[in-house]
């Protein structure tokens, strides 16, 4: 079936550094999402993105977070600077639209470890 | 405020038994309830979903029972197999709004 690819699968960085998580969404999808998961539970919504803009973001999407998808390339989540509490698995998802109840396709996640 | 609640947090059943995972929600406007299945090291994947106009949805050995008046639903996994061991997320959304996930139920099926 359709696949969302996330690169890298694991990233280890020092607190205060910048990190960029990359997502290659399903090719004809238009809506993109980032979720944060801690300890294998609680899929926490961060942000959704459409047509070059953030459509909605949660309280977890701090000022240090930003997203973009320049020229149809990777959909990225940048954290600058990182904090210890940013350690989690970040899942990218995409959907073909927000027509009624669109199915989300998730990547395998990027595990971010902030030391 | 937690929009979607799941219970139990973890569940262990024997192979061949029916596993029952529960879910409740707060927002009466929710009209679509997908269940996502997640294996370790992978992202969640849509398993089965129900709309609020229905009270039951079956797909293979998976059945959703939905009670709109009580604002709860349950996922029944019939004849559970060890390969069904995973975390199951109940989710909910209203029209074109975003999906709210519950905290998940970790299911272990023992052979």
Residues 6+ away with beta carbon under 8 Å from A12: A113, A115
Q: Do residue A91 and residue B45 have CB atoms under 8 angstroms apart? A: no
Query: To probe the interface with A, which of B98, B103, B106 has the most A CB atoms within 10 Å?
Result: B98
Surface-to-core class of residue A112, CB atoms within 10 Å of its CB (0-12 exposed, 13-18 middle, 19+ buried): buried
Query: What is the C-alpha separation between A46 and A91, in angstroms, rounded?
Result: 10
Weakest mean pLDDT among A62-66, A97-101, B15-19? A97-101
Whether A103 and chain B come into contact, CB under 8 Å, resolves to yes
Q: What percent of chain A has pLDDT over 90?
A: 74
Query: What is the C-alpha separation between B30 and B49, in angstroms, rounded?
Result: 13
Weakest mean pLDDT among A18-22, A27-31, B18-22, B62-66? A27-31
Higher model confidence: residue B70 or residue A70? B70
Query: To probe the interface with A, which of B2, B43, B86, B91 has the most A CB atoms within 10 Å?
Result: B43
Please state, rounded to an integer, the average pLDDT across all residues of chain A: 92
Q: Which pLDDT band holds residue B89 (cuts at 50, 70, 90)?
A: very high
Considering only CB atoms, A106 lies closest to which of B40, B45, B93, namely: B45
Weakest mean pLDDT among A33-37, A96-100, B28-32? A96-100
Q: What is the pLDDT of residues B20-56, one digit of tens each?
A: 999 999 999 999 999 999 999 899 999 999 999 999 9
- Side-chain-facing half-sphere of B62: CA atoms under 13 Å: 14
Q: Which residue of B has its CA nearest to A91?
A: B43
The predicted structure's pLDDT at residue A100: 53
To the nearest whole Å, the CA of A87 is away from the closest chain B CA by 16
Mean pLDDT of A63-88: 94
The predicted structure's pLDDT at residue A101: 59
Whether A25 and chain B come into contact, CB under 8 Å, resolves to no
CB A33 within 8 A of CB A45: yes
Query: What is the C-alpha separation between A36 and B100, in angstroms, rounded?
Result: 13
Q: Which pLDDT band holds residue B96 (cuts at 50, 70, 90)?
A: low
Give the tokens for residue B19: 């596993």
Give the tokens for residue B68: 């709109």
Residues within 8 A of A (CB atoms), B 58-97 only: 87, 89, 93, 95-96
Mean pLDDT of A96-108: 79
Q: What is the pLDDT of residues B56-67, one digit of tens each?
A: 999 999 999 999
The predicted structure's pLDDT at residue A98: 62
To the nearest whole Å, the CA of B108 is away from the closest chain A CA by 14
Q: Which residue of A has its CA nearest to B50?
A: A101
Paired with A113 in beta bridges are A12
Give the pairing of strands B105-110 and B10-14. parallel
Mean pLDDT of A72-98: 92
């Amino acid at each position: 079936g359709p696949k969302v690819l996330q690169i890298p699968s694991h990233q280890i960085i020092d607190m205060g550094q910048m990190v960029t998580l990359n997502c290659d969404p399903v090719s004809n999808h238009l809506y993109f999402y980032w979720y944060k998961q801690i300890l294998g539970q609680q899929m926490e919504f961060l942000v959704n993105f459409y047509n070059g803009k953030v459509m909605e973001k949660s309280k977890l999407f701090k000022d240090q977070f930003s997203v973009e998808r320049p020229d149809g390339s990777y959909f990225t989540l940048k954290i600058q600077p990182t904090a210890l509490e940013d350690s989690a698995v970040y899942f990218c998802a995409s959907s073909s639209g927000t027509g009624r109840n669109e199915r989300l396709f998730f990547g395998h996640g990027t595990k971010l470890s902030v030391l | 405020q937690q929009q979607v609640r799941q219970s139990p947090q973890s569940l262990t059943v024997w192979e061949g038994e029916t596993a029952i995972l529960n879910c409740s929600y707060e927002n009466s406007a929710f009209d679509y309830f997908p269940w996502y299945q997640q294996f370790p090291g992978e992202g969640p994947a849509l398993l089965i979903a129900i709309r609020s106009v229905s009270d039951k949805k079956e797909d293979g050995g998976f059945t959703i029972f939905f009670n709109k008046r009580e604002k709860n639903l349950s996922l029944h996994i019939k004849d559970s197999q060890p390969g069904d061991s995973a975390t199951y997320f109940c989710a909910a959304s209203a029209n074109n709004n975003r999906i709210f996930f519950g905290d998940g139920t970790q299911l272990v099926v023992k052979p």
